[in-house]
């Protein structure tokens, strides 16, 4: 390849910039706090089998609706399953949905945004028209329609939320590309015969990624909320899967709500804490990566 | 001005058409249909296929997809959203009965959120980094992240179960039908729904006020010796409130989403409960009808917001 004959690029400025971003992030106390709590939640979710010996599925009809005790830290639910275990395993589902969703729609959104912004013309028109329409329908409606026609499982929930969210990223990226592609270094790349693919991947992508990353971090929080809402409505993750939203759905029964606060308070609290911490991290990322972006 | 409004109006037609195609397409690709869902598999006998086919033909489910779509849109234009599979009633009528309940809930929530959120944001923006500003920031952050259905459950637990001062569900007490009773039923759902918007409106108003405060014309006003009160009321606030119109408009889809969930928490018989129940029962015409009506409401609100914006801010019209 010809690259081997070229002088080695000086990567020092890029490394220095990365250090600056990390330092700036670390100085944001709320963001750091959010990151620490989030790390604890991630580790706890990953190490769930090591933390609790119980199964999140095993029912015990001799021990239903029990208040917290030594045997059951957070008591048991209406089928005698250990609430603490279920909340712990619930974190796996929430995090999986959160991460899976942003990876899926992040990649889709960025690719469409790059293509629409770089090529323009009818490709741009088609992509933007579709994304405009999707954006004009409330997210939950799109998701609800999708979960109606598919089996309600984690993969389909991720897909459904991602379908409704990529237009936001596409717009963001497209807007950035429209600005950046006017810059001289892009013209320079084109003049020496770089392909469209190379310009997009090597020259545009690294320079338009910051706002997308910030938006995706908030997107993860809202994907987790969306899954919890869907499961709460009874059209998301189905019992006996230990999703926080599914657990809260059971609290719609007045007898559960009234008599078993130990059962429904923890999953809701965990949802709120997780979402809040991710938003803190997102805020820190925004300040560190792109000081010009103030409000989203 | 008239040209702008007309152009903006025409732009929303293709979007509306796409909305119908997407809605229809989604429901077409649903696995199984109503007839399958209603027959107990154990009751199937040798000639039941024929019965099923007759049922499908009676409901128009045996026609080609395109024809079904054209039929559907043709009826749509005439105001016929089809008939509910389950209740054998016109969908439009079912929606009409429920729409008002949702408008009450959503409308009350947005009014409360605007009043509290915008005032809190204004005070925060006028006194940035004060104690009040700090409290508002923290609270709006929390409100933004708090699942509204969880908040709803907590409110029911505290005010209906423990304190017993407010009803936990429904829109009115059967037998008692006065305004006071209806208002009492509104308090908890509206609170659960509006909290996240209060936070959002407060944050947006704050940053708008902060931005306007450093504009040249505010400095000019200050330099020529106007009283601070007059500067705030005549120079800062009117200009800071312009972007808030857009923020409120943009929050309508989220508001509707929130209303669907809130209705399920409080057994509020509005569009949300209608839709979720229809999804569970695979009552496609009702699902399509509710999605369509909600989508049209959102499109309509976006249109109105854009027009309002053009009225308030002349720069928009000539873009």
pTM: 0.85
Can you tell me the mean pLDDT for B128-139?
87
Q: By mean pLDDT, which of A57-66, A122-131, B228-237 is the weakest?
A: A57-66
Of A125-129, A134-138, B273-277, which gets the smallest average pLDDT?
Answer: A134-138
Greatest extent of chain A over all pairs of C-alpha atoms, in Å: 76
Q: Does A271 touch chain B (CB under 8 A)?
A: yes
pLDDT of residue B132 exceeding 60: yes
Identify all chain A residues contacting B249, using CB atoms and an 8 Å cutoff: none
Of the residues A137, A142, A160, A258, the best mutation for testing chain B's interface (the one with the most B CB atoms within 10 Å of its CB) is A137
pLDDT at A2: 47
Contact yes or no for A148 and B168 at CB 8 A: no
Position B38 pLDDT exceeds 60: no
Determine the pLDDT at residue A11: 64
Closest CA to A39 of A213, A280, A226, A248: A280
- pLDDT band for position A69 (50/70/90)? confident
Chain B touched by A272 (CB under 8 Å): yes
Answer yes or no: is pLDDT of B162 > 70.
yes
Q: Do B156 and A229 touch (CB under 8 A)?
A: no
Between residues B284 and B213, the one the model is more confident about: B213
Q: What is the DSSP letter of A8?
A: P
Split at pLDDT 50, 70, 90, the class of A109 is: very high
- Residues A186/B67, Cβ–Cβ less than 8 Å: no
pLDDT at position B70 over 60: yes
pLDDT greater than 60 at residue B51: yes
Contacts of A225 in chain B (CB under 8 A): 145, 147
| ipTM beyond cut 0.85 | no
Tell me which chain B residues have a C-beta less than 8 angstroms from the C-beta of A149: 26-27, 29-31
Token output for B173: 């007490």
Yes or no, beta carbons of B147 and A221 under 8 Å apart: no
Q: Is A180 on the interface with B (CB under 8 A)?
A: no
Rounded Cα–Cα distance for residues A5 and A2 (Å): 6
Q: According to the model, what pLDDT value does residue A1 have? A: 44
Q: What's the confidence (pLDDT) of residue A101?
A: 95
Asked if B204's CB is within 8 angstroms of A295's CB, the reply is yes
Nearest to B295 among A141, A235, A258 (CB): A141
- Give me the pLDDT at residue B59, please: 65
Chain A nearest-CA distance from B202, in A, is 12
Q: Give the residue among B183, B282, B194, B200 at the shortest CA–CA distance from B243.
A: B200
Token representation of residue B137? 């920031």
Distance CA A280, CA A217 (A): 10
pLDDT digits (tens, 9 = 90+) for B260-279: 999 999 988 899 999 988 88
**Gap between the Cα atoms of A197 and A47, Å rounded:** 41
Contact call for B264 and A276, based on CB within 8 A: no
Instruction: Decide if pLDDT at B57 tops 50.
Output: yes
pLDDT at residue B23 in the model? 80
For the cut 50, the answer to whether the pLDDT of residue A19 exceeds it is yes
At residue B189, the pLDDT reads: 93
pLDDT of residue A167 exceeding 80:
yes
Helix (H, G, I), strand (E, B) or coil at A291: coil
Comparing A185 with A138, the larger pLDDT belongs to A185
Q: Which tens digits make up the pLDDT trace of B194-234?
A: 998 998 899 889 888 888 888 888 888 889 888 888 888 88
Average pLDDT, chain B: 82
Mean pLDDT of B11-31: 77
The model's pLDDT over A244-271, given as tens digits with 9 standing for 90+, comes to: 999 898 888 888 888 888 888 999 999 9
Average pLDDT (A138-151) is: 78
Q: Does A140 touch chain B (CB under 8 A)?
A: yes
Q: What is the pLDDT of residue A292?
A: 57
């Amino acid at each position: 390849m010809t690259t081997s004959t070229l002088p080695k690029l000086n990567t020092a400025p890029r490394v220095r910039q990365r250090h600056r971003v990390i330092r700036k992030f670390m100085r944001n106390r709320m963001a750091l706090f959010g990151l620490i709590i989030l790390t604890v939640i991630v580790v706890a979710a990953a190490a769930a089998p090591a933390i609790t010996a119980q199964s999140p599925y095993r029912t015990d009809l001799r021990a239903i609706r029990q208040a917290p005790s030594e045997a059951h830290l957070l008591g048991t639910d209406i089928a005698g399953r250990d609430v603490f275990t279920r909340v712990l395993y619930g974190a796996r589902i929430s995090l999986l949905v959160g991460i899976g969703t942003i990876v899926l729609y992040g990649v889709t959104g960025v690719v469409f945004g790059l293509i629409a912004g770089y090529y323009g013309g009818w490709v741009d028109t088609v992509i933007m028209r579709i994304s405009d329409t999707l954006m004009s329908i409330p997210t939950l409606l799109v998701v609800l329609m999708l979960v109606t026609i598919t089996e309600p499982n984690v993969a389909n929930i991720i897909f459904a939320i991602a379908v409704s969210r990529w237009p936001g990223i596409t717009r963001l990226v497209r807007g950035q590309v429209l600005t950046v592609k006017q810059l001289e270094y892009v013209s320079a790349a084109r003049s020496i015969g770089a392909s469209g693919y190379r310009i997009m991947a090597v020259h545009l992508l690294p320079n338009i990624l910051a706002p997308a990353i910030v938006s995706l971090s908030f997107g993860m929080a809202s994907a987790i909320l969306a899954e919890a809402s869907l499961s709460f409505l009874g059209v998301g993750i189905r019992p006996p899967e230990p999703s926080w939203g599914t657990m809260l759905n059971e609290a719609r029964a007045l007898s559960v709500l009234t008599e078993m606060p130990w059962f429904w308070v923890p999953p809701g609290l965990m949802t709120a804490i997780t979402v809040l911490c991710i938003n803190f991290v997102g805020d820190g990322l925004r300040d560190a990566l792109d000081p010009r972006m103030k409000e989203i | 001005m008239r040209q702008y409004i007309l152009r903006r109006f025409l732009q929303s037609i293709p979007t509306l058409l796409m909305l119908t195609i997407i809605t229809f397409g989604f429901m077409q690709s649903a696995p199984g249909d109503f007839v399958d869902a209603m027959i107990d598999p154990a009751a199937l006998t040798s000639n039941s296929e024929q019965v099923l086919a007759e049922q499908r033909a009676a409901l128009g489910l045996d026609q080609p997809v395109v024809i079904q779509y054209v039929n559907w849109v043709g009826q749509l234009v005439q105001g016929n959203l089809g008939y509910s599979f389950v209740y054998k009633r016109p969908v439009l009528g079912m929606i009409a009965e429920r729409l008002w309940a949702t408008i009450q809930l959503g409308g009350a929530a947005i009014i409360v959120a605007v009043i509290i959120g915008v005032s809190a944001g204004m005070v925060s923006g006028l006194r940035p980094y004060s104690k009040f500003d700090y409290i508002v920031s923290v609270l709006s952050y929390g409100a933004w992240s708090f699942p509204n259905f969880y908040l709803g459950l907590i409110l029911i637990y505290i005010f209906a179960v423990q304190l017993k001062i407010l009803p936990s569900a429904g829109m009115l007490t059967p037998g008692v039908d006065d305004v006071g009773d209806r208002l009492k039923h509104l308090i908890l759902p509206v609170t659960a729904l509006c909290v996240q918007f209060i936070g959002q409106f407060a944050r947006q108003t704050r940053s708008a006020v902060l931005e306007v405060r450093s504009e040249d014309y505010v400095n000019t006003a200050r330099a020529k010796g106007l009283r601070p009160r007059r500067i705030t009321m005549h120079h800062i606030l009117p200009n800071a409130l312009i972007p808030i119109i857009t923020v409120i408009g943009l929050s309508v889809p989220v508001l509707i989403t929130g209303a669907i969930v809130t209705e399920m928490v409080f057994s509020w018989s509005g569009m949300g409960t209608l839709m979720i129940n229809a999804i569970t029962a695979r009552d496609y015409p009702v699902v399509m009808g509710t999605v369509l009506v909600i989508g049209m409401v959102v499109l309509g609100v976006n249109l109105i917001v854009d027009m309002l914006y053009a009225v308030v801010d002349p720069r928009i019209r000539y873009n």
